[in-house]
Amino acid sequence: MRTEPALNTDTIKHCLAVDYGFDVGALHWLGTGYDMDAFGYEAVEPKGCSWFVRFSRGPVNPGSVNVPLLLASSGVSNILAPVPTRAGDLWSNVDEGTVVVFPFIRGNDGTTGLTDEQWLVFGQTLAAVHNGGFEHTLSAGLPTDSFSSDSIQPVLNVLNRIDEGACERRADGIAEFLHAKRALLRAIVHRMHELGDQLKAKPFERVLCHGDIHAANILVSDAGELYLTDWDTARIAPRERDLIFIIGSRIARKVEPREESIFLKGYGSVYPDPEALSYYRYERILEDVGEIGTRRLLTDDVLPETEDLDLDLLQRLFSPGDIVETTLESDSGA
């Protein structure tokens, strides 16, 4: 569980009162999520109603609220739409950042496991997202994948800084770990360039993708209902961009072959491109390495309490049987 940040929660309560009309008696820190610039709270009104409040440093990504609103209003089940302000806006600006409100669902994320029925529903829900034609409505407001990954350059920046020996003042274990993995990471970058060039020549159907639909972004209520959450990385992309989180996935939790089979029963017939799966798995690896490396080694805006979390995540990526090893094993061209 993350350490509670030193935020002025009175500012958040004031925002909820003025902009949303909520009489919040208590604001409970939840300590969940991997985004170190976002903080989740349960806001409780005296009458017993609860809301999920997400406070973020900096501006809101419009796609993170527009996409679930469109999906929910279009009849896609298992999606939580943002709660509008009294003025009809989907977020509110405060001095230190932005506030977004969703219905509060008491439960756990999918890392604790899904039942067979929930895997089936997950497949049906993601199919509804992919096959609903939403890419036509959202194409102007979301990034479109073209197999030219933005994840490569941040990793190269980190590796170049390490090679220059310019990270000693922040040598907290992360620089040492990445130094030991630098040859492998450069090989992954090279392989991504190769795959990207090959995939650009192939015709792909591009659909609305969640972009990060691993088990930690699936919410399971105490009543057993399932919800797809956290649409910050929504994009228009080949469906393989989402399927890496299920097919042979080791992201957030291992997806067992039986679970994958039940998911696909709900999702429907699909023949994913193996090279696209490899490309997006490599991209996921580099996204995590680049984000952590940049935050820990290239910037001064570092939260000390995140150091252990960051190093643990990096170590798990490269541990036996996890995503780096399994991606290399499944990529016939590596």
User: Which CATH number is correct for 9-104, 3.40.228.10, 3.30.930.10, 3.30.390.30, 3.30.200.20?
Assistant: 3.30.200.20
Same topology between domain 9-104 and domain 111-330: no
* H or E element, residue 268: none
Least confident window among 225-229, 269-273, 311-315? 311-315
CA distance 214 to 10: 33
The pTM is what?
A: 0.93
CA distance 55 to 39: 5
| Average confidence (pLDDT) over 79-100 | 95
Domain locations in the chain? 9-104, 111-330
CA distance 159 to 205: 34
Spatial neighbors of 300 by CB under 8 A, at least 6 apart, are none
**How much of the chain exceeds pLDDT 70, in percent?**
93
CA distance 29 to 5: 9
Q: What is the pLDDT of residues 35-51, one digit of tens each?
A: 677 889 999 998 889 99
Structure tokens at 118: 């929930």
| 3-state SS class at 23 | coil
Q: Which CATH class is domain 111-330?
A: mainly alpha
